């Protein structure tokens, strides 16, 4: 007996293996450590911010000064360009509305003139010495002309609806321009952000002899421990970066910076985004993408 039914891709249904091989359904990919951003790296250029004037957004994302300034400048230029396009679109819509209203007035006036001329012609014919049969034939001919005109319009409209492949009957969709957003935003969190909202950071880097410059890590300003994937906060008035454990023990009780002694308020404590790791318990190390399964 043949085993053809046991061969791959020979079943009557789409199996899980076939669906995964075809690339349909929910695809999952796991990120490695090399795909995780280290703490102290710029979120735009992905390079270390050591010696590059690091800045933090109100949402806690770290950028180097050059990258975030260039990004905000590009956003402003895009906003200006989109605003100009929107103004031109609004002006074109206003002109189109005015032209449509003017055309409607012209059509109304033309119909009124045609009706007046027809009334005068009918009166003249009625007053003339035409036979009753001739007057009836003239009225029938005019009525037939109106019916033919209406029928032609209906046929033309029906052809436009059904024969869409003909160039003259191809439907066209009007291009619309949405009102642009006039606010610059954080590239990562997409929250509203201006240049004045950026906060300077004073990172303390590991300068030991056995640490290469490109592999240098950020240290806590108080405990001198490596931050890496731990949670850290920025003390806004002084720009110092400390671990959250140090925050609970040394900052919150007195609400002063343990390095400079400056007074702090609750809004002066900004939680920074932690560095990524390869562990699923700490970071989101899996990406999902959904492809619809064909039926």
| CATH code (residue 196) | 3.30.40.10
Average pLDDT of the residues in 222-241: 90
- Based on the domain organization, do 45 and 77 belong to the same domain? no
- Based on the domain organization, do 249 and 153 belong to the same domain? no
Does residue 9 lie in a domain region?
A: no
- Based on the domain organization, do 277 and 194 belong to the same domain? yes
Does residue 53 lie in a domain region?
A: yes
Please tell me the predicted confidence (pLDDT) of residue 76: 96
The total domain count for the chain is 2
Please write the tens of the pLDDT for every residue from 81-108: 999 999 999 999 999 999 989 988 888 8
Name the pTM for this structure.
Answer: 0.69
Does residue 20 lie in a domain region?
A: no
- Based on the domain organization, do 193 and 285 belong to the same domain? yes
pLDDT at 171 > cutoff 70? no
Does residue 79 lie in a domain region?
A: yes
pLDDT at 31 > cutoff 70? yes
Please write the tens of the pLDDT for every residue from 239-260: 999 999 888 888 899 899 999 9
pLDDT at 154 > cutoff 90? no
Determine the structural domain holding residue 144 and report its residue range.
Answer: 73-169
Average pLDDT of the residues in 14-22: 76
How much is the mean pLDDT over the chain? 81
Does residue 17 lie in a domain region?
A: no
Query: pLDDT above 70 covers what percent of the chain?
Result: 76
Please tell me the predicted confidence (pLDDT) of residue 176: 84
Average pLDDT of the residues in 140-144: 71
- Based on the domain organization, do 38 and 87 belong to the same domain? no
Does residue 103 lie in a domain region?
A: yes
- Based on the domain organization, do 59 and 190 belong to the same domain? yes
Please tell me the predicted confidence (pLDDT) of residue 2: 59
Q: Alpha-carbon distance 11 to 29, whole Å?
A: 28
């Amino acid at each position: 007996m043949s085993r053809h039914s046991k061969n791959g891709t020979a079943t009557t249904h789409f199996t899980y293996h076939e669906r995964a091989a075809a690339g349909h359904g929910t695809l999952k990919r796991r990120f490695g450590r090399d795909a995780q951003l280290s703490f102290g790296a710029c979120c735009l250029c992905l390079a270390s911010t050591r010696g590059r004037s690091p800045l933090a957004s109100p949402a806690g994302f770290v950028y180097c000064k050059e990258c975030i300034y260039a990004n905000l400048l590009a956003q402003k230029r895009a906003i200006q360009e989109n605003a100009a396009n929107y103004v031109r679109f609004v002006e074109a819509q206003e002109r189109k509305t005015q032209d449509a209203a003017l055309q409607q007035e012209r059509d109304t006036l033309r119909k009124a003139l045609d009706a007046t001329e027809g009334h005068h012609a009918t009166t003249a014919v009625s007053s003339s010495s035409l036979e009753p049969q001739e007057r009836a034939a003239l009225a029938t001919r005019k009525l037939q002309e109106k019916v033919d005109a209406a029928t032609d319009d209906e046929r033309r409209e029906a052809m436009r609806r059904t024969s869409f492949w003909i160039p003259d009957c191809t439907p066209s969709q009007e291009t619309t321009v949405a009102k642009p957003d006039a606010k610059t935003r954080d590239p990562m969190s997409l929250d509203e952000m201006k240049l004045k909202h950026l906060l300077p950071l004073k990172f303390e880097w590991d300068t030991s002899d056995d640490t290469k410059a490109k592999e240098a890590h950020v240290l806590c300003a108080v405990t001198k421990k490596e931050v890496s994937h731990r949670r850290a906060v920025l003390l806004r008035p002084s720009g110092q970066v400390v671990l959250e454990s140090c925050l609970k023990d040394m900052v919150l009780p007195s609400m002063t910076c343990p390095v400079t002694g400056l007074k702090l308020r609750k809004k002066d404590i900004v939680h920074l985004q932690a560095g990524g790791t390869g562990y699923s318990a700490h970071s989101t190390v899996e990406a999902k993408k959904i492809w619809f399964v064909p039926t």
